[in-house]
Amino acid sequence: MMLNALYAYAQREGLLEDPDVELLAVDALIVVGSDGRFLSLTPTTDERGRGLKRAVPRIPKRTVAIQPGFFVDNARYVLGWGGDAAKAKKNPERAEAFQAVVHAVAKETNDPGAQAVAAFLSKLEKQLPKVVEQREEWTGEERLAFRWSGDEEGTLVHERPALREAWARRRGAEGVGDRAARRMRCLVTGEIGPVARLHPSIKNVPGAQSSGAALVSFNEEAFCSQGLTQGENAPVSRAAAEGYATALNHMLSRDGDRRYRQGVSLGEGAVVVFWTREPDPVVDTLLNVLDFPQPAQAVHFAESPLRGLEPGKFDATRFYAMTLGGNAARVVVRDWFELAIRDLKHNVLGYFDELKLEGRRERPLSVWDAVRAVEPPGARGIPPDLGTKLIGAALGGRPFPRELLAAALRRLRVPDKDDGASFLLHTRCALIKATLRRPPHGIKPMEVSVSLNPDSPEVPYQLGRLFAVLERLQWIALEGVNTSIKDRYFGAAMANPGVVFPRLLQLSNHHLAKLLGRSKGSARWVEKLIAEVMGRLPPRGWSTTLKLEEQGQFAIGYYHQRQDFFTRRDED
Amino acid sequence: MKAQSGRVFRLRARGPVACFSRPEMKVERVSYEVMTPSAARGLLEAVLWKPAIRWQVHEITVLAPIAWTSFRRNEVKQRMSEGVTFFADDSDRRAQRNTVALRDVDYVVSASFHLTEKAGPEDSVRKFEEMFERRLEKGQTFQAPYLGCREFVAAVEPAPEQVRPIEPELDRSLGWMFYDFDYRGEETVPLFFEARLERGRMKVPTLEQVLKAQVGAGEERR
């Protein structure tokens, strides 16, 4: 159903109006006169340095074989120019192959535009220096198209009706004449016809080769069955294969400031793309609340961050999401969702509800923020698995992964110097809270409140509170310190309270004595608070070690108590 | 002699993990949402298979909600065949592959069988009917029954009279699903059928129906 849904999306969005062309950036236009004279090389790049996107005849997928494009290709094919010594070795062959196509088409169609290009290529050797000097640098990757001076401004040679027909004819002949294309039932459309042997590549998937990787491929013998080779293992018609790939490439392409037009990055190794059967604004809302915050949307957030998740017109239609990662030459589907928009909204609101924690932020916690907050310092980012599971919790209403709890606790124990302490403390504790409330399979969920719950019967929670009180005491007694007990003991107290707390209480006696000399009121207040919290601990002494979930409760207790001090101070 | 069993047998199969790999996603595996007919046939054949009979699955009822899980494993990328010896932990012959599998599945498979041309004079429908029933009741199997991949073990038992299928939205399309391979020609042809989930049940067409649709749509046989 994945490929069906993608193919349907491409059709709905009009990405496939002409299956013979694809939308690609063209870097420069070569303008030629009717006699083949070189007139100019016009760069198309805008102020951002990006080339103009144009519908160009699909350029063949090539690895080492030489296969020219149709009137549009890179400089190595069009001019036989560019690339380092190793790459340039085959440039003459490439140019020859490209010229062969142009000459054949010029003869076949008698089109003046095609003939002009053919004439230009015939005397390429003489004109080449003039073309090359128009540009400072040539990498060989510049995509070039032709314009004939006889055409109206804006029309390119490959867009002339006669050439479009010629291209369609060529493509048609390829499909029929291809010895290898066996006729089978397409498992996307159900129609019987020639199957795509190799599927188009998907670009911009993190972790995959930068030149693109295939979603459907069979490159080892163990992946094939029953003597079938390549695409025959999963018969998909060429139209459907191009359709789903176009849809994915469209969603994964860059768009303005966005990293992905219709996807959210889940750390370094994965991306999730989503779409709906009918056009629905829910996709934009999700992009805005789950992705890296865009300045332009900040205003919108301030008003109502989750607007767009109220019941809407298309609640019964289906929503699709696909989490993709790369595995060298292959694109991996890490996760897949298909559900009614109604259920999606329910899940997403539930997700933000679990993450709700008293604190400084009104904006919902995006997946992007969450992933960033638990990233180990200096390392190469979090494993893609964590982001994948987090998006599963958001979109699919699934449990929060235990890895998240572990990662958040680890980061609390070793905070970074330049962490922006309170901001990340909030994020990390919110994630801990969510994992405790909605734990993975087989672990008992815990009740965790949004703000301080002084009557909680949970010992680790009360220990966390106690730690916050002791930290506070130290702060007011010594009137600010360079290295607080939090910096020194937080991690140890969380893991082994039995070892650390006796020492901390001893220290606190000194702090109390000091404070007593200065402000009796404050000292008495802290003393009372310590007694209150201690009163909720079991009389039989300290627990020696805390498990992961208990450490989570400790962190929440600490956070709540600390937050309570802030709110109190604001009220006073 | 009767060649077709008039009885419909119902087998229940459960397991913690299942992966009925979609052909397009069989390298980095992604499962179908519902058990495929060929996987169901495998379960039946684990209990009773003889050259004299051929199983026909009629219906697959889904009892547990469709839930997913995913993991990565090191798998071999080369086929073991005659004259080839290698160690599974040889890093040159392994590839790390992802699996998106189903979790906690529970199905009831309804099926019947018919005798094939391999049936001898001593074979009768009745004989196999009773054998199957006896074997299923006792939990006897020729091989460990599995859910899509050999490593995902299935617990197999007779289905109770009353079952309660899941109720997704009524009438949901599952797309073109793998049916089985057609081995009769020179080349193996994979067969597909249009699968639908209706009130938690997936109806399975007969092989004849699938082949007819195939010929009707004009597939060339080689």
Predicted confidence (pLDDT) per residue in A32-79, tens digit: 888 888 888 888 876 666 677 778 888 877 767 788 888 888 888 888
Confidence grade of residue B203 (pLDDT, cut at 50, 70, 90): very high
Which of the two residues, B64 and A413, has the higher pLDDT score?
B64
* The dihedral sign for the CA sequence A6, A10, A16, A20: negative
Chain B contact for A226 (CB, 8 A cutoff): yes
Which of B28, B192, B218 is the closest to A332 by Cβ?
Answer: B28
Among the residue ranges A423-427, A468-472, B150-154, the one predicted with the least confidence is A423-427
Asked if pLDDT for residue B194 goes beyond 70, the answer is yes
* B134 to chain A, closest Cα gap in Å: 34
pTM here is: 0.79
Model pLDDT, residue A50: 67
> Kind and range of the H or E element at A117?
helix A112-122
Which helix (H) or strand (E) covers residue B207, if one does?
Answer: helix B207-217
Reported confidence tier of residue A417, pLDDT bands at 50, 70, 90: low
Q: Are strands B155-158 and B172-182 parallel, antiparallel or unpaired?
A: unpaired
| Chain B residues contacting A via beta carbons under 8 Å | 22-28, 30, 33, 68, 70, 75-79, 95-98, 100, 169, 173-176, 178, 181, 187-192, 194, 214, 217-220, 222
Res B221 pLDDT > 80: no
List pLDDT tens digits, range B68-89: 888 888 888 888 888 888 887 8
Q: Taking 50 as the threshold, does the pLDDT of residue A449 lie above it?
A: yes
The answer, for A3 touching chain B at a CB cutoff of 8 Å, is yes
Work out the widest C-alpha separation in chain A, in whole angstroms.
Answer: 103
Residue A420 zone, left/alpha/beta (φ > 0; ψ -120 to 50; rest): left
Contacts of A336 in chain B (CB under 8 A): 30, 68, 100
Judge: A185–B217 Cβ closer than 8 Å, yes or no. Answer: yes
Is B25 close to A183, i.e. CB distance below 8 A?
Answer: no
In degrees to the nearest 10, what's the CA dihedral of A64, A70, A73, A78? 90
Interface contact flag, B23 A234, Cβ < 8 Å: yes
Q: Do the chains contact at B181 and A226, CB–CB below 8 Å? A: yes
Q: What is the least distance, in Å, from the CA of A13 to any CA of chain B?
A: 21
Q: Which residues of A touch B33 (CB under 8 A)?
A: 1
A331 touches chain B (CB under 8 A): yes
Residue B114 bridge partners (DSSP): B4, B54
User: What average pLDDT score do residues A520-528 get?
Assistant: 87
Task: Tell me whether residues A185 and B28 touch, CB distance under 8 A.
Answer: no
* Rounded mean pLDDT, A10-18: 82
How far apart CA A20 and CA A258 sit, in angstroms, is 28
Whether the pLDDT of residue B173 is over 80: the answer is yes
pLDDT at B110: 96
**Cα of B26 to nearest chain A Cα, Å:** 7
Q: Which residue of B has its CA nearest to A220?
A: B77
DSSP state of B93: G
pLDDT for position B42: 95
Q: In this predicted model, what pLDDT tens digit does every residue of A116-172 receive, in sequence order?
A: 898 888 888 888 888 888 888 888 888 888 988 888 777 888 888 888 888 888 877
pLDDT higher at A248 or A541: A248
Q: How many residues does chain A have?
A: 572
Contact A286, A49 (CB under 8 A): no
- What does the angle CA A166 – CA A172 – CA A173 come to, to the nearest 5 degrees? 90
Q: What would the pLDDT profile of A472-509 be if each residue is shown by its tens digit? A: 898 888 887 777 888 888 888 998 988 888 889 888 88
> What tokens does A79 get?
């001019």
Task: Closest CB to B192: pick one of A187, A340, A396.
Answer: A187
pLDDT at A257 over 90: no
Q: Which residues of A touch B202 (CB under 8 A)?
A: none
Highest mean predicted confidence (pLDDT) among A111-115, B81-85, B200-204: B200-204
Give yes or no for residue A540 having a pLDDT over 80.
no
Averaged pLDDT of chain A:
83
Q: Spell out a b/e string for A392-419, using b for 16 or more CB atoms within 10 Å of the CB, else e.
A: bbbbbbbbbbbbbbbbbbebbeebeeee
Residue A177: is its pLDDT beyond 60? Answer: no
Contacts of A332 in chain B (CB under 8 A): 28, 98
**ipTM value greater than 0.90:** no
